[in-house]
Amino acid sequence: MIFRSVRDAAKAFGLWTCLGAAAWGGAAHATGVLDRVGAGGKLLIGHRESSIPFSYVDADKKPVGYAVDLCLKLADAVRKKTGAKNMQVDMVQVTSANRIAMVAEGKVDLECGSTTNNAERREKVAFTVPHFITGARLLVRANARIDRIEDLEGKKLVSTKGTTPLKAAEQANRERLLGLTILEAPDHAKAVEMVEKGDADAFVMDDVLLYGLAANRPKPDALKVVGKFLTTEPLAIMLSKNDPEFKKLVDEEMRRLIVSKEIQPIYDKWFLRPIPPNDKALNLPVSYLLRDFWKYPSDFVPF
């Protein structure tokens, strides 16, 4: 290429430099988790604050739970695959409102909580094999005359911001003309507190979370879980949809944990035995839905 002046040459050089930097930056951004870890990088695990028993913080503010334990197993698989024996794991707290963005933007590599795998979310992120299947029901005060969502007509219903039960409640309200006042809570713990104080008549959320939250309140007998399932919720660990090599490893390890039944003692630890912070057991054996799904473990769900 022949330039007419030094100025033209400088402009062209500047353009090439910008394009080169952009291309390099894109390549750097596109670096997969396994490459990053293999080069000495950290594995970033997202956890929740109050999604008992899946992902929450104990009295020492340490992230614990069923999904957290599963993610630590996945971390071991990453260490083995990359040969990074000294790989550091950083625990990053996420919320129901920002968890999807945190995964999509690469701020966490695995989101280990109680997140439902559905079609809307799969447009932004990927999911591995479900670790639990549940459905949304209602948490109410034990003395309340509420047994189903229709009994809430004209009353206040709360759910957690950014969750599928919240959307299900809004849809039920429209379709059944219930006249509900639907409130949003920033997290699960706040929603339970609103029911206890009478600021809401019911809290709609995955029933397994409701049992866990109620069991760890100061007066668990003052609450009860009622109603039919409003939704079917296959819960799974979230990860980027743009890193197929990492997803392949995660899927393979989840299938191995399930097929080998190595997942069973982890499940029993959190659903059948006393758990922190109040050392109460949920007494929830593996459901028939989850048992059947685990016969042929897959990341595919028909929702």
Residue ranges per domain, the chain?
33-133+234-293, 136-231
Residue 120: predicted pLDDT: 94
15-28: average pLDDT: 38
117-142: average pLDDT: 96
Rounded to two decimals, the pTM is: 0.77
180 or 288, which is more confident: 180
CATH classification (class only), 136-231: alpha beta
Express each pLDDT in 135-183 by its tens digit: 899 999 999 999 999 999 999 999 999 999 999 999 999 999 999 999 9
Fold match, 33-133+234-293 / 136-231: yes
HEC string of the chain? CCCCCHHHHHHHHHHHHHHHHHHHHHHHHCCCHHHHHHCCCCEEEEECCEECCCEEECCCCCEECHHHHHHHHHHHHHHHHHCCCCCCEEEEECCCCCHHHHHHCCCCCEEECCCECCHHHHCCCEECCCCEEECEEEEEECCCCCCCHHHHCCCEEEEECCCHHHHHHHHHHHHHCCCCEEEEECCHHHHHHHHHHCCCCEEEEEHHHHHHHHHCCCCHHHEEEECCCCCCEEECCEECCCCHHHHHHHHHHHHHHHHCCCHHHHHHHHHCCCECCCCECCCCCCCHHHHHHCCCCCCCCCC
CATH fold for the domain made of 33-133+234-293: D-Maltodextrin-Binding Protein; domain 2 (3.40.190)
